[in-house]
Amino acid sequence: MSNNLTESKETEVKLLSVFAENKPGVLAKATQALAEAQVSILWFKIIDGAGDKYGIIRFLVDHTQEGIAALKNSGFAIATSPILAVVADDNPGSLSKLTAALYEGKVDIRNGSGYYLNRRVVLIIETQQMEAARTILNQLGYKILTSAEIKALSNKKCS
């Protein structure tokens, strides 16, 4: 499989952002909604809002559309934002090499995170300059996952 320079909307990887009041049981309710819809969570993070009264929970899931529907049906306000899911080696200097390249290409990373997958790392990169970042990473030979690939990889991650 090769990465196209411009991903179509369908193959673009998206994070789900869920508005969450800071009270007991909200995270449990959101994850239960995903569980009941058989949607697998690959990564999540809680971002605190001002005053500790609310936050935003961000999820990367295997089945995005099903995840959106499940959360909406449970009454959550949700939004999606496109990200780049980049496969990198798990060794010293790997992240440094990647961020240096993006810095040189004047790509501003708004949010970054990552998770392990089969002894490698999937980096989650959020930027306003998606196309520039994609071009740079492609030139350096990084694998940028499509939503279909994320789905496929997560299904066999235990093998």
Partner 1 sequence: MYWEKDIETASRQTLSQLQFSRLRETLTQLSHKSEFYQKKFREQGVTVDSIRSLDDVRRLPFTTSADLRAQYPDKLNIVDKDHLLRLHTSSGTTGKPKALFFSRKDIEILTNNFARCLTMVGCTPKDVFQNMMTYGLFTGALMSHYGAERVGMLAIPAGPGNSERQLMLMQDFGTTVAHATPSYALYFANFVEKKGLDPAKDISLRILLVGAESYTEETRRKIEKTFDADVFNCYGLSEMGGPGVGFECTAKNGIHLWEDTYLIEIIDPKTLEVLPPGEVGELVITSINREAMPILRYRTGDLTRIIPEPCPCGRTHIRVDRLKGRADDMIIVKGANIYPQQIERVLMKTEGVGRNYLIHLQGLDEMIIKVELDANAFDGQVSKLESMQKSITERIRAEVQVKPVVELLAPGTLPVSEGKTKRVIDNRSL
Select from 43-51, 86-94, 114-122, 130-138 the region that touches partner 1 (CB under 8 A): 43-51
The 3-state secondary structure of 92-112 reads CCHHHHHHHHHHHCCCCEEEE
In the complex with partner 1, the residue whose CB is nearer, 6 or 73, is: 73
Nearer to partner 1 (CB atom), residue 88 or residue 130: 130
Give φ, ψ of 114 to 5 degrees. Answer: -175, 170
* Residue 50 near partner 1 by CB under 8 A: yes
Q: Which stretch binds partner 1 (CB under 8 A): 70-78, 88-96, 97-105, 151-159?
A: 70-78
Asked if residue 60 lies in contact with residue 74, where contact means CB atoms within 8 angstroms, the answer is no
Instruction: Give the Cα separation of 38 and 18 in Å (integer).
Output: 18
Report if residue 17 touches partner 1, rule: CB under 8 A: yes
Spell out, one character per residue from 72 to 101, where the chain touches partner 1: x when CB under 8 A holds, - when not: xx-xxxxxxx--------------------
Contact status: 56 vs partner 1 (CB under 8 A): yes
Give the list of residues 6+ apart from residue 7 with CB closer than 8 angstroms, or none.
134, 146
